[in-house]
Amino acid sequence: MNTVFSLWSSQKGRNLIVQLLMVAGFLGLVWWLVDNTVANLARQNVATGFGFLENNTGFDINQKLIAYDESSSYQRLLLVGLLNTAIVSVLGIFFATLIGFMVGLARLSDNWLVSKLAFLYVEIFRNLPLLIQILFWYVLLIEILPHPRNSFALGDMFFLNNRGLYLPWFTSLSGGNIVLWAIALFGVGWFFVSRQAQKRRELTGQKSSYTRHYFILGVIALAGYLSLWGVPFEPNLPALKGFNFRGGLSFTPEFVALLVALSLYTASFIAEIVRAGVLCVAKGQFEAAKALGLPTNVAMNKVIIPQAMRVIIPPLTSQYLNLTKNSSLAAAIAYPELVSVFAGTALNQTGQAVEIIFITMSIYLFLSLLTSFLMNIYNARVALVEK
């Protein structure tokens, strides 16, 4: 008892005791929760453990990027859901960035009307709950759009009806995949070549012809292949068969509604970030660029935006993360992404709430922590070194 009193009388000792009490309280709480959960699960006769991941799901879903059917396992279902989250997030990030930068720069325009319109856009979309926006686009698509027979059509190639959006696509014949991979590889190569060209330009001040040569080389290779072996692709156009369209590239109304809502909503936040970022760049920079005789768009692209990016990128990344997390709102319109299909349907089927919520949360948590880790590295790299 005496030692406790003497500990308490010093600041260090008090700190130690407080912290020990916190740890004890925390462990006690965890123990209590686990104990209750185990008792409740035993009473309800719910299976525990992750064995259910091997079981058959017994239900199909309407959008899958990989093979999946009723006899697939829950593990497979998790992967399908994750891929659906990924595709809507990646496309959403692309469109949100595009719209966001356009609106953000429009907000800074000299044109009074353009800047006011951009302002209006931001105020409307930022202050509306995302869920309402998703539901609104969804009912608009399924209630207002015509049946497949009376689809809106554009040149017999693009169709829009209440079953979804249909775009022309292609199917690869033999050798088609090789060509696609080659083109992808060419794109990656482009990145390195243009970087080399940039480096050379910075070093010598002369325009290099690296990228032009690289491009011509690519075109010759492609033309050579096509003339020797023919075009290994075949157009695949959507066409009305029975009650619905077949073929082409199709998107369900759920997907379209979610993508539109996520893009427009996130774009309103990105626009504000872009605006703030550009305003952060000192005015003298723009004036200096002008004084060098650079036209406005070059001054913007080469002087202002690169500096603004330092301020823009960290909040932009957190918007990307938000968009990914917000894609979980798809549960409201039954777009089969991670939460809706796994934490929703699978949970109801198996009743294994603890395991399923644990897996779902872990995935998002991992993604968040990874993002903030990468952001910390980025911030350390681009931070202005002040004297």
Partner 1 sequence: MRSILKWSRENLFATRMNAVMSVLSIWLVYVAIEGVFSWALINASFIGTDKASCAANPHGACWPFVTAKLNQFVYGNYPMGEQWRVNIVFALGAFGLGLLMTKRVSFKKEVAVLMLTVYPVLTFILLSGGFLGLSYVETNQWGGLLVTLVIAVTGIVVSLPLGILLALGRRSELPIIRIMSIGFIEFWRGVPLITVLFMASVMLPLFLPEGMNFDALLRCLIGVSMFASAYMAEVIRGGLQAIPKGQYEAAKSLGLSYWKSMRLIILPQALVVSIPGIVNTFIGLFKDTTLVMIVGIFDLLGIISFHFTDPNWTSPQVPITGFVFAGLVFWVFCFAMSHYSKSVERRFSVTGENK
Binding site for partner 1 (CB under 8 A): 15, 18-19, 22-23, 26, 33, 36-37, 39-41, 43, 109-114, 117, 123-124, 126-133, 135-136, 139-140, 143-144, 325-326, 328-329, 331-332, 339, 343-344, 347, 353-354, 357, 360-361, 364-365, 367-369, 372
CA distance 290 to 298: 10
Q: In whole angstroms, how close is the CB of 18 to partner 1 at the nearest point?
A: 7
Residue ranges in the chain assigned as alpha helix (H): 2-9, 11-44, 74-107, 112-126, 130-139, 176-204, 210-229, 253-280, 283-291, 296-298, 305-326, 347-350, 353-382
Q: How far is the CB of 31 from partner 1 (least distance, A)?
A: 12
Instruction: Kindly state the smallest distance separating residue 231's Cβ from partner 1, in Å.
Output: 38
In the complex with partner 1, the residue whose CB is nearer, 250 or 266, is 266
Q: How far is the CB of 368 from partner 1 (least distance, A)?
A: 4
Within 8 A by CB and 6+ apart from 343, the residues are: 331, 356, 357, 360
Question: Strand 244-246 and strand 239-241: pairing?
Answer: antiparallel
Q: What is the closest distance, in whole angstroms, from the C-beta atom of residue 302 to partner 1 in the complex?
A: 19
Given the complex with partner 1, which of 250 and 326 has the nearer CB atom? 326
For partner 1, the closer of residues 35 and 156 by Cβ is: 35
| Min CB(188)–partner 1 separation in Å | 32
> CB within 8 A of 272, min separation 6: which ones?
104, 122, 126
Question: Which is nearer to partner 1, 193 or 258 (by Cβ)?
Answer: 258
How far apart CA 286 and CA 333 sit, in angstroms, is: 47
Is 172 within 8 Å of 180 (Cβ atoms)?
Answer: yes
DSSP 8-state symbol, 187: H
**Residue 270 has which token pair?**
């990105």
Output the smallest distance, CB 158 to partner 1, in A: 21
Residue at token pair 């768009």: 297
Indicate the residue among 39 and 217 with the shorter CB distance to partner 1.
39
For partner 1, the closer CB: 183 or 365: 365
> What does the alpha-carbon distance between residue 74 and residue 62 come to, in Å, rounded to a whole number?
16
Amino acid at 183: I
Instruction: Give 31 or 192: the residue with its C-beta nearer to partner 1.
Output: 31
